[in-house]
Structure 1
Amino acid sequence: MPHKTTARKPLFAATTVASLLLSAAASPLVSAQSEEPSFALEEVLVTARRRAENLQDVPIAVTSLSGDALRLAGSQDITELAQSVPSVTLEPSRATNTTLTAFIRGVGQQDPLAGFEQGVALYLDDVYMARPQGALLDIYDVERIEVLRGPQGTLYGRNAVGGAIKYVTRRLSDEFEASVRASYGTYNQADLVGTVSVPVTDTFRVGATVASFNRDGFGDNLFTGGEQYDKDIFGYRLSAEWEPNENFLIRLAYDNTDDQSSAVAGWRPYPGAISGTPSPSDVFDTNAGASVLPTTAGINGNNQVEAEGWSASVDWNLSDTITLRSITAGREDFTESVIDFDSLASPDFDAPVIYDNEQFSQEFQLLWNTDRWNLVLGYYYLDAEAANDFDVVLGLLAPGGLTAYTGGVVETDSWSVFGDLTYELTDRWSLSVGGRYTEDERSADIFRGTYLGTGSPFFGNDSAILLAATSDYEAERTYYDFSPRANLSYALTDDIKIYGGYSQGWKAGSFDPRGANFATPAVEQGFDPEELDSWEVGLKSTWWDGRAITNVALFYSDYQDMQIPGSVGVDSDGDGVNDSFVGTVTNAGQSEISGIEIEGNLLLTENFSMQFSASFLDASFKEYLVGDIDVSDDRDIQNTPEEMVFIGLNYNTDLAGGNLLINTNYSYKGDVQQFEIASEDIDQEAYGLLNASIVWTSGDDHWLVGLYGKNLTDEEYRTAGYCFGTSGCPSSLGLENNTTVFFGPPTTGYVTVEYRFQ
């Protein structure tokens, strides 16, 4: 029954850069600074290891961006982090505004369907977000964002193969604080954010943040007259803190986001093969008609994502060395989405989609910190349900249309115990060891059927005729794993630390709701777990009398049984035309990913500073089995540019009783392949983005006025695509040669005014 609910480049250049930076860390510049002014970079604190530490003391690859720095830079959502953080790709998932596609060091998940968990873990105040819907967070009310690269599992609630992104919101103040920030810019961008924190008593305080983000589209829908790439998001966050004494704290929080932006349809590089509709002259325009056609009448052509969550955290300091922590949370999201694969007024290949997700998690931690010992012991439980229902309407293949319906729910019941112990062997040597044991139980209830008619009964077409059921099964499988970690660090001096370590990441298998178990019974067995072994060495150095920081990490990853989902057209009646589709999940045999990552900060003068970062990656499949045939020579790892470089220049000076900050930055990314099989129509060649800003803050920090410009050279760059056409695609579906491409924002600019009440 339907369920309701190019050849690889050597790393020689990268190694050369690293050698120069290592030499710089010990260069004569250090000894020559006695005559220089006494100013230095500010210390950056992180909680990457579950305790507050100087970033330079943490022997892992982690980047921390403070809320104030993000505020001054005018960062609008977390995808902008990918411009400056090495080895990171963050994009809106195809045809969406707030569904996140995240990759770190070649590890991620392209498809947001039920049954697939992300390779990069996203945390909102230590709460793991199990699904990508609603995970593309706008940046507001944030204290800092930390990005940890490489496997994570002995310190955090959920095991992560590729890395973790921690979005940390601001603590409430024990004094009254409030602020209002308004922005207006190109494409009628109109944003408004208001925040307030109120101490009710000496021990109890409450706070709220309300945010509205609005913008006209970068392009037009030439058929409906509607918007393309517009933004219509409203969100709010409520919080409360009770701190009866310095040893006990309870934090309560609730957040809600409603995204009513228009459905995004891709640009067609080719005219319609049947309709003859020409390709739009502007890459941000479309002729998509799915939102007003009968193909999506089952959801009334609606495109909306609603997400909400609550959390309750308790910190109890039993003594000066022991802390107990509890994090209890629940999240839900509901999506109705219009996907127009053909991007035409033709009903050739349209899909109404419903995602319905919910989760509950409980985490307990015991923290023990002394002068030489630091211990984290934890227990984590996750109960999650991910459901999706969608039609694939192929309106031109039969009189009245042909529809493939998929409905499924995948449930996760998981528990794990983890621990991480750091021992200061001497004043300079430090050893960390950790491990995690996980049991993941996955259960699935899947139905797929092919109907004659435009739409299935689930989406309101009661007259649809069931031609054949292609899947109808329930299945259950439990996955077990133990993942270890070890790290050894040595402080060459008080300002230079080297480290080396090994860590293992693991992600359970699951079930593909799009698989056809009648044709392929193995679908009922699900797909296998994936495992990544990572070795890393690095250096963290502070030099030039505290005016310079250089961090370097080199890593090698052996990636086994990599989970790769996809969809292919199927010719069910043998007439030479694909009239349905089937989901595929490949546990690719093996891949290897290695690279070098560089980050730095230079305070050149008291007024002039520079930030830089770079990554140079070598990622390739060593084995990729399709059936019993190894096709690794014809496959590449997706969303993983070989090189990335970022340079930011800042100049600040006194002006009108306040401070004027002038910033310009440039980010460069190498060639990006959207899927494992190359397609020149949707893949992106190397490109760069230039941004600039001028920000004035008053001396009393009440006022901020900023002018921001993004993508000033108006670079045209692809972020995603669908390849179901007859020109260079691995599989075709529909009759209109259906290849569509999505693009990043063009040149934009805006003015921000903020006032802080204190």
Structure 2
Amino acid sequence: MMTCLAPAARAEAADANVRADADSGLAEIVVTAQKRGENLQKVPIAVTALSGEALTTKGITTVVDLTRVAPSLTYTVQATQATPRIRGVGTAIAGAGNENSVATYVDGVYYASATGSILTFNNIEQVAVLKGPQGTLFGRNATGGLIQITTADPKQELQGNARVGYGSQNTIGGDLYVTGGLGAGAAANLAVHYSNQMDGFGKNLANGKDVNKTRDIGVRTKFKFDLGGRTTAIAAFDYDHTIAAAPAFRAAYGEKALFTGYSFKGGFNDTDTDTQPYSSVEQYGASLNVTHEFDGAKLVSISAYRRTQWDVAFDSDATPTPALSVNVHEVDRQFSQELQLISTGSGPFKWMVGGYYFYGKAHNDPGTIYLPVFGLNQIINSIQSTNSYAAFAQATYSFDAATSLTLGLRYTNEDKTMNSSGELDFLNPAFVLPAAPYTARQHVSRLTWRAAIDHKIGEDVLVYASYNRGFKSGGFNAFALNTPNAFVPETLDAFEVGLKSEFAGRKVRFNAAGFYYDFKNIQLNTYVNSAPAVYNGKQATIYGLDADLTAAPVRGLTLTAGLSLIHARFGDFPITTTVILLTGGLVLGPMTSAKDKRLPQTPDVQLNLGAQYHLELPGSSLDFAADYFHSARWFEAPENRLNQPAYSVVNASVAWNFGANQAYSFRIWGRNLNNAHYANQLTAQPNFLDLVNPADPRTYGATLSVKF
């Protein structure tokens, strides 16, 4: 987790999504989906954007929660690693140095680490979810799309806010944000977040200890300098440390362990394992954004360094018998440098050119898989390094006031290197069998592109069509012994038609997009010798529709809705199957075809509905909010055996705003009020049991905040 997040779009109003004026209509939303500030309704890309206030009102506190408000996005977590998917495109990460298919950016900085991408929201100006390949402007690992997070920049005027709260599971927390001037041409801000869930959502029945509880502290600060000569610089620093009694995997109900016949009987959020789950994610980073304005163009330089350390221990057999456990110590380091030259003129031709460099080094030191029931330990030391260079350009030409053509191209040249060594210890460790160390290299050069045409029908309706090519890097399996065990890049060709519209005096905003994807060399997960691994599936076809609706029918009332319809099916290629034995345990079944099976973690239908009402009272006001989210069934793996049934979640809150200028606010909130039982992640693994990582049950609490 982390406290503050990245540069996608900027909301001009205090709440660009939720609060509307009955006379002027819905507030304009400005996004930087094309690396320049533009009205959301004029951007020929499917984007869901929410301001920081909208996130608070809807109870969205982490990136995982975005599933409930961004159609076509599913965000699951595999052993505390982020595994987001947009329109069915995503990867269940397996191994240090292997990145997601959905990129996460914070204030213009790409977050490569899957553990460092699970962020907690504080000091947020806007979060935008860009759907479909963004490979031209954002690079090789934005195949599925992009999550952009923008945090607040420093201001000269001294101001801020503070918040303290208490919630279920004996959770205490608070946030502080303050900003102000440091003298002529200089300003700074500071954001601090703390949360401590002292009681777990469940118990480990094997030892009586709490599981599924989290403690998090994070700090982010920015310094903004006016350097004169039309040059500004923003330096940002952040630190975050999250410790959790997780991942607390439990066995699926009704299954029996091989040999012992064990069957899990605990509560939905309990576990029953000989290894107490533990995870620690500590990360920090620094970035420097320098902008210089020329006549007709601006030059932007973004330099950044990040380090993430992940320590995790969990029981992978999900029983109190010491059969299979995993310990990982992973350190990810990255450096990136981006240069952008962006036109600022008002003519019909808008353009940008740029270059990008990324260096990443992920060290698994060591990763250990313990199988004490067999007297065996597998120890891996691996380092996967990435050197990636890219050059990109995009231009838009407006033929007239109604019609524009956009063309973009990016060339990426990338090298990945794996250095690995390890050993097999028998009888703990009376006998040691060293694994032959190996070095492997993968070189990739790719062109990605974008072509889009848009046309305005009147002042408030835009239609567009686009064709995008994106690709995700290949890599190596970090837990492989004696062999490189490489997988190749995946490629996505995406065709999209869309509508952006406002009507009824701009009191109603309706945006929709239909899409068709040809997805090749898909990176899928499996298990080799009880270790997670990635392999390539041949092809899948995805098509569907997603839509967002916002309406302000009367003063103070805002209604929102989102819908995602996806048909995502594999082509014909061989996959493994798992079979549940009547005597207990899972075994590998025969190879079968993936043809017409559903893509993992991709429900056919998602629906979200929301209502917010602001009521003015003498000297105070009330804010009411309620949200409903529904997901259809989704499957864990290409074999389509293990699945999460359809479920729904209801959230609600009420806030009383009072005091001078209504500077104080007291909010009572509840999440998952219907106490839906559903999995955040499912895992099927041969020779053991299906694993369930439960989502949070019903939570509730109260928050007191003040603005100054």
1:333 partner SS: strand
Aligned residues: 669
Answer yes or no: is the 8 Å Cα contact 2:93–2:99 preserved in 1: no
1:543 aligns with 503
Looking at structure 2, the residues matched to 661 and 302 of structure 1 have their Cα atoms a distance apart, in angstroms, of: 39
Looking at structure 2, the residues matched to 326 and 168 of structure 1 have their Cα atoms a distance apart, in angstroms, of: 17
Specify which of 480, 496, 500 is matched with residue 465 of structure 2: 500
- Cα deviation code 1:680-706 (max 9, x no counterpart): 4xx201111111111223462421211
- 2:364 is the counterpart of 1:428: no
1:567 partner SS: strand
Task: Return the TM-score normalized by structure 1.
Answer: 0.85
TM-superposed deviation, 1:238: 1.9
Specify which of 456, 463, 487 is matched with residue 452 of structure 2: 487
Amino acid of the structure 2 residue aligned with 1:487: A
Greater CA deviation, 267-276 or 598-607?
A: 267-276
Instruction: Indicate the percent of aligned positions where both proteins have the same amino acid.
Output: 29
Looking at structure 2, the residues matched to 655 and 190 of structure 1 have their Cα atoms a distance apart, in angstroms, of: 30
- Cα deviation code 1:21-72 (max 9, x no counterpart): xxxxxxxxxxxxxxx9734111111111111111111111011110121123
1:353 aligns with 328
TM-superposed deviation, 1:581: 3.3
Looking at structure 2, the residues matched to 337 and 437 of structure 1 have their Cα atoms a distance apart, in angstroms, of: 37
1:260 partner SS: strand
TM-superposed deviation, 1:276: 5.6
TM-superposed deviation, 1:607: 2.6
1:396 aligns with 373
- 2:555 is the counterpart of 1:595: no
Looking at structure 1, the residues matched to 550 and 39 of structure 2 have their Cα atoms a distance apart, in angstroms, of: 15
TM-superposed deviation, 1:245: 4.6
Answer yes or no: is the 8 Å Cα contact 2:22–2:556 preserved in 1: no
Looking at structure 2, the residues matched to 194 and 661 of structure 1 have their Cα atoms a distance apart, in angstroms, of: 22
Looking at structure 2, the residues matched to 433 and 590 of structure 1 have their Cα atoms a distance apart, in angstroms, of: 27
Answer yes or no: is the 8 Å Cα contact 2:389–2:414 preserved in 1: yes
1:457 aligns with none
Answer yes or no: is the 8 Å Cα contact 2:474–2:487 preserved in 1: yes
Answer yes or no: is the 8 Å Cα contact 2:22–2:552 preserved in 1: no
TM-superposed deviation, 1:416: 0.2
1:13 aligns with none
Q: Which has the higher strand share?
A: 2
Answer yes or no: is the 8 Å Cα contact 1:128–1:158 preserved in 2: no
Residue segments in structure 1 that go unaligned for 5+ positions in a row: 1-35, 292-300, 455-462, 569-579, 725-730
Answer yes or no: is the 8 Å Cα contact 1:378–1:419 preserved in 2: yes
1:633 partner SS: coil
1:538 partner SS: strand
Matches within 5 A, 1:31-42: 38-42=23-27
1:314 partner SS: strand
TM-superposed deviation, 1:517: 4.2
Amino acid of the structure 1 residue aligned with 2:270: D
Matches within 5 A, 1:563-582: 563-568=523-528, 580-581=529-530
Looking at structure 2, the residues matched to 120 and 583 of structure 1 have their Cα atoms a distance apart, in angstroms, of: 20
Looking at structure 2, the residues matched to 142 and 178 of structure 1 have their Cα atoms a distance apart, in angstroms, of: 13
Answer yes or no: is the 8 Å Cα contact 1:593–1:617 preserved in 2: yes
2:133 partner SS: coil
- 2:231 is the counterpart of 1:256: no
Matches within 5 A, 1:182-221: 182-215=164-197, 216-221=199-204
Looking at structure 2, the residues matched to 748 and 581 of structure 1 have their Cα atoms a distance apart, in angstroms, of: 35
1:411 aligns with 385
Matches within 5 A, 1:738-753: 738-753=689-704
Looking at structure 1, the residues matched to 530 and 548 of structure 2 have their Cα atoms a distance apart, in angstroms, of: 45
TM-superposed deviation, 1:326: 0.2
2:413 partner SS: strand
2:10 aligns with none
- 2:304 is the counterpart of 1:338: no
- Check 1:114–1:516 CA distance in 2 against 1; reply closer, same or farther (3 A cut): same
Residue segments in structure 2 that go unaligned for 5+ positions in a row: 1-20, 577-589
1:459 aligns with none
- 2:682 is the counterpart of 1:721: yes
Looking at structure 2, the residues matched to 181 and 607 of structure 1 have their Cα atoms a distance apart, in angstroms, of: 24
- Cα deviation code 1:169-194 (max 9, x no counterpart): 10111111122111111111111111
Answer yes or no: is the 8 Å Cα contact 1:112–1:132 preserved in 2: no
Answer yes or no: is the 8 Å Cα contact 1:128–1:157 preserved in 2: no
Matches within 5 A, 1:277-288: 278-288=263-273
Looking at structure 2, the residues matched to 584 and 90 of structure 1 have their Cα atoms a distance apart, in angstroms, of: 20
TM-superposed deviation, 1:738: 2.6
Answer yes or no: is the 8 Å Cα contact 2:369–2:531 preserved in 1: no
2:667 aligns with 706
TM-superposed deviation, 1:234: 0.9
C-alpha RMSD over aligned residues: 2.0
2:363 aligns with 387
TM-superposed deviation, 1:486: 0.4
2:213 aligns with 230
2:619 aligns with 657
Answer yes or no: is the 8 Å Cα contact 2:140–2:412 preserved in 1: no
Looking at structure 2, the residues matched to 464 and 601 of structure 1 have their Cα atoms a distance apart, in angstroms, of: 66
Answer yes or no: is the 8 Å Cα contact 1:134–1:257 preserved in 2: no
